[in-house]
Amino acid sequence: MAKKITRIAKLEFLAGTAKPGPELASLGINMPQFCIKFNDQTKDRKGDIVPVVITAYEDKSCDFVLKTTPAAIMLKRAANIEKGSANSKINKVANISIDDLKKIAEYKLPDLSAHDVDAAMKIIAGTAKNMGITIDGFDPKKGIIK
């Protein structure tokens, strides 16, 4: 017989540093057990924010699925900036290369609703545009400009 699901939650933790706290307490799961498993699985991603989807069951157990680091964080890291533009139409805060865009798109591909890297690049380029980051040699409508 299948376990009864009590709640599904989407949370973000710093890789390798999850601790019991109010976010996990509200799920009604075995917090130390989750933290140990999460920290073991994310120890190689130190410094990254890791989104996680937690499925909590009635017997206080849980399953979780790790997601890739958010695109905005990866874009800020690639552009070497602290935050995006407050008004992206007027103020451009940084510039990244097409290679950086492709690297981010390839990393994010499993979590995006894109069939290939070109479609993923367009999605990430949209995020970059909203943050005030320009991309050398890329047009969101046409793709890579030769």
* Domain residue ranges of the chain, discontinuous segments joined by +: 5-66, 71-144
* Cα(86)–Cα(109) distance, integer angstroms: 27
Give me the pLDDT at residue 88, please.
84
Q: How many CB atoms lie within 10 A of CB 24?
A: 23
Give me the pLDDT at residue 3, please.
85
3-state helix/strand/coil string of the chain: CCCCEEEEEEEEEECCCCCCCHHHHCCCCCHHHHHHHHHHHHHHHCCCEEEEEEEEECCCCEEEEECCCCHHHHHHHHHCCCCCCCCCCCCCCEEECHHHHHHHHHHHHHHCCCCCHHHHHHHHHHHHHHHCEEECCEECCCEECC
Give me the pLDDT at residue 105, please.
94
Total count of residues recorded for the chain: 146
CA atoms within 13 A of residue 29's CA, in its CB half-sphere: 27
Summarize pLDDT for 39-94 with one digit per residue, the tens: 999 999 888 899 999 999 999 899 999 999 999 999 999 999 998 888 888 888 88
Report the pLDDT averaged over residues 23-44: 91
Has residue 24 got a pLDDT over 60? yes
Q: Quote the pTM value.
A: 0.83
Give me the pLDDT at residue 87, please.
87
Has residue 19 got a pLDDT over 80? yes
Summarize pLDDT for 115-141 with one digit per residue, the tens: 999 889 999 999 999 999 999 887 766
Q: Which CATH architecture has domain 71-144?
A: Orthogonal Bundle (1.10)
Q: Does domain 5-66 have CATH number 3.90.1150.10?
A: no
Give me the pLDDT at residue 143, please.
63
Has residue 1 got a pLDDT over 70? no
